[in-house]
A and B are shown apart, each in its own frame.
Chain A
Amino acid sequence: QVQLQESGPGLVKPSETLSLSCTVSGGSISPYYWSWIRQPPGKGLEWVGYIYSSGTTNYNPSLKSRVTISVDTSKNHFSLRLSSVTAADTALYFCARGGPIFIDSWGQGTLVTVSS
């Protein structure tokens, strides 16, 4: 059973870059899609973007100019960078295995607060 664990700073200052990593255990990064999904406090889910193990990416159009997702197959993890953050980026960030068709495993999520 694959397990995913998010890690990264829980507090980011406005205008700075949010960086999170997702470590995959119990399975290989290849050949799967890997997603980042976020949930603002008390609100619904929002797709951030996804990456295939080969490195092909796709991002939510509303975030595309600020998002970068990368994968490191040698370390079995993938990462999220979101630049120029504002309070609106405060959310619980989930990493997951799968893409637009089917997500079969989720991380437990990590809360990132944007505040000075």
Chain B
Amino acid sequence: QSALTQPPSASGSPGQSVTISCTGTSSDVGGYNYVSWYQQHPGKAPKTLIYEVSKRPSGVPDRFSGSKSGNTASLTVSGLQAEDEADYYCSSYAGNDNYVFGTGTTLTVL
């Protein structure tokens, strides 16, 4: 199974919105509504932001939202804040009890 494709970098100014894409295939992203998004600050463990495409765990601000169209999932961060500067990873269920991560995107807040 191949890693899901994410843009290496994304950026935005404070207060703006930025969207990060996650492209897979019909065997993973397109085939199931089981896409998750994780935020990872340098030297820290990942934190789950989104699961099942658009659901937020308790405590995650509603500035973070997820969606999916076809084989591409997206994470939108609204009202960018300095603390949002981090690496972001998607993951998707890929059938046969397997899952796969994305390549990762570094978000820079300008």
Residues of A at the B interface (CB closer than 8 Å) are 44-47, 58, 60-61, 94, 99-104, 106-109
**Smallest CB-CB separation from B47: which chain A residue?**
A106
* Interface: B21 (CB within 8 A): no
Is A103 touching B45 in the complex (CB atoms < 8 A)? no
**Residue numbers in B under 8 Å from A46 (CB-CB):** 101
**Given the complex of chains A and B, what is the CA–CA distance between A45 and B98 in angstroms?**
14
Is A45 touching B104 in the complex (CB atoms < 8 A)? yes
Chain B interface residue bracket vs A: 20 to 34
Is A102 touching B1 in the complex (CB atoms < 8 A)? no
**Residue numbers in B under 8 Å from A100 (CB-CB):** 34, 93-94, 97-99
Cβ contacts B89-108/A at 8 Å (1 or 0 each): 10101100111111110000
Max count, chain A CB within 10 A of own CB: residue among B51, B94, B97, B102: B97
**Residue numbers in A under 8 Å from B34 (CB-CB):** 100-101
**Residue numbers in B under 8 Å from A61 (CB-CB):** 1, 98
**Smallest CB-CB separation from A46: which chain B residue?**
B101
**Residue numbers in B under 8 Å from A102 (CB-CB):** 36, 48, 51-52
**Given the complex of chains A and B, what is the CA–CA distance between A103 and B45 in angstroms?**
12
Q: Which one of B45, B47, B101, B103 lies within 8 Å of A47 (CB-CB)?
A: B101
Is A44 touching B46 in the complex (CB atoms < 8 A)? no
Residues 7-52 of B at the A interface (beta carbon under 8 Å): 34, 36, 38, 44-48, 51-52
Is B45 touching A107 in the complex (CB atoms < 8 A)? yes
With both chains docked as a complex, state the minimum distance between the C-beta of B90 and any C-beta of chain A, in angstroms. Answer: 10
Is B48 touching A58 in the complex (CB atoms < 8 A)? no
Q: Which one of A47, A103, A107 lies within 8 Å of B100 (CB-CB)?
A: A47
**Residue numbers in A under 8 Å from B104 (CB-CB):** 44-45
